[in-house]
Amino acid sequence: MTYCLNPKCRHPENPIEQTKCADCGFSLVKLRDRYRVSQALAHGGFGATFLAQDEGLPGEPVCVIKQLRPSVNEPNVFQMARDLFEREAKTLGRIGNHPQIPRLLDYFEEDNQFYLVQEYVNGATLQQEVKRYGAFSEAGVQQFLSEVLPILQYIHDQRVIHRDIKPANLIRRVEDCKLVMIDFGAVKNEVNNTINSQSLHTNVTSYAVGTAGFAPPEQIALRPVYASDIYAVGVTCIYLLTGKSPRDFDYHPSTGEMLWEKKVRVSDSLTEVLKKMLEVSVRHRYKSATEVLNAIQLEPYEDSLAKSMASHKKPLSGNDKSGFLDRSNPEEGYNPSIVQMATSIRERRVKSIEANPKSSADITQELKAKTWKAKITNQSIPLSSKNPPVPRIDSNTLLSAYINGRRDFAMQNLSMLDLERADLTEVNFHGCNLHKTNLHKAILFNSDLGQASLNQASLKDANLSRAYLSHADLEGADLRGADLSDAYLNHANLRGANLSGANLTNAKVSEEQLAMAKTNWMTVRPNGKRVVL
């Protein structure tokens, strides 16, 4: 199907072979001669969001296209829309190397309309989850916070304020059950604010207001700060716990505080965390996502997991478009947040067991953990093995798949492969085993290597510019002469890594991390300077 982009068209669906819309006669040519729009996802006063196929790539992968249509024909408004459009594109390009933020694939102007092309995220929003499964338990909200706060800290590290965090802008990705933060739509709100103002000369630097109820007072007053996003996450938690939107709550007539405490039943510890997240005064609110992470603890809720899962199991309705329950998957039908929590706890228990010497008590605990994992996942796991088998592919298979358009190789066993000089731009190697893999002079620009095992890997002269390497294990890796400019290395293990001659300009890495690595006078530090040793 080809979708008509004329906003006034009453019947925009057309057969794929049509060149003009049967309803309005609007041209159905592909955008930029490669993107064929197939479905509308959302409409608003600023424009629309569409599902499309990129026919310029092998396999014609699905993507999302955001269209901005300025509704006023004033020349200064049009120029303002163009400036804001370019600003949003630059922001998305800067932050889009995080695995839980959709990548910016393209942006362009065509026929006085502006288009952003982004990675498609297959999944349901948290708003849809609540409508389908009901409100979250306290343990589910704890798990939500542990997932969303690291994403928030990342975008704040990039000096970006989201300004519109809410359940509808958080998608749980089907492939790995992880949350993805979407809609950094400053263009929509800033253009609308300008158009609706009495003067068309409003300063283009004014901030987007966001969504009523989720935006704190300082954001409504056009003075958002990083803590404004923390407030929005707090309101999202209340929604997840109650299934009620902010407009369904009463507010204190003097302070403007949302009166939510009597509507939820959670522990005193979580209540205190939420109260500080939802402080009307920025002065008394958490200042960073890391502060909130330090305040929450997941461990006390392990014992209540079984009860939480039992209370959240619900059959799918007959009208559910996803089909019938898959009885081969025992976790089908549970709230995905509870399933994700179970997975996190199982992984943490197994890692804890493997990290410590095995006493008789350790062995008993390991057997319990593996028995529980086998029961939950309906798998037969030999008790003698520490980890379940990981899929393995060879070098030729991987490179052939990449050439044919595949970019996602997350969680694969790629140890000791020969990928010298391979062009693997924007590949997803998240969580991969790349132990002793040869990536000499490989191009890994803007790639996701978060949580990957790269110990003793050869990355000499590799292009890792803008790569995401958070929590990656680079112990003993050869990174001599590698380009790590603008790379995200927070929490990466650099013990014994050879960074002689590497370029770390603007890289996110601490001095403590660099002190564990090997450097020399040719190493370019994050400030862009070499240090004389």
How far CA 86 is from CA of 89, 108, 115, 207, 387, in Å, comes to: 5, 9, 10, 16, 47
Cα gap 143→394, rounded to integer Å: 36
> For 384-419, what is the HEC assignment?
CCCCCCCCECCHHHHHHHHHCCCCECCCCECCCCEC
**How would you class 262 by CB atoms within 10 Å of its CB: exposed for 0-12, middle for 13-18, buried for 19 or more?**
exposed
The residue type found at 318 is G
Could you give the CA distance from residue 190 to residue 241 in angstroms, rounded to a whole number? 31
Residues carrying an active site annotation: 164
3-state secondary structure of 54: strand
CA dist., res. 414 & res. 390, Å (int): 10
Alpha helix ranges (H) inside 37-115: 75-95
3-state helix, strand, coil in the chain (%, to 5): 30, 15, 50
Distance CA 152, CA 162 (A): 8
Strands (E), 113-157: 113-119, 123-125
φ, ψ dihedrals at 63, nearest 5°: -145, 170
Distance of CA 262 to the CA centre of its chain: 32
SS (H, E, C) 426-490: CCECCCCECCCCECCCCECCCCECCCCECCCCECCCCECCCCECCCCECCCCECCCCECCCCECC
Q: Which residues, 6 or more positions from 474, have their beta carbon under 8 angstroms from its beta carbon?
A: 454, 455, 457, 492, 493, 494, 497
C-alpha dihedral sign at 14, 17, 19, 22: negative
- State both tokens at 349: 């228990």
Q: What phi, psi does 42 have (nearest 5°)?
A: -160, 150
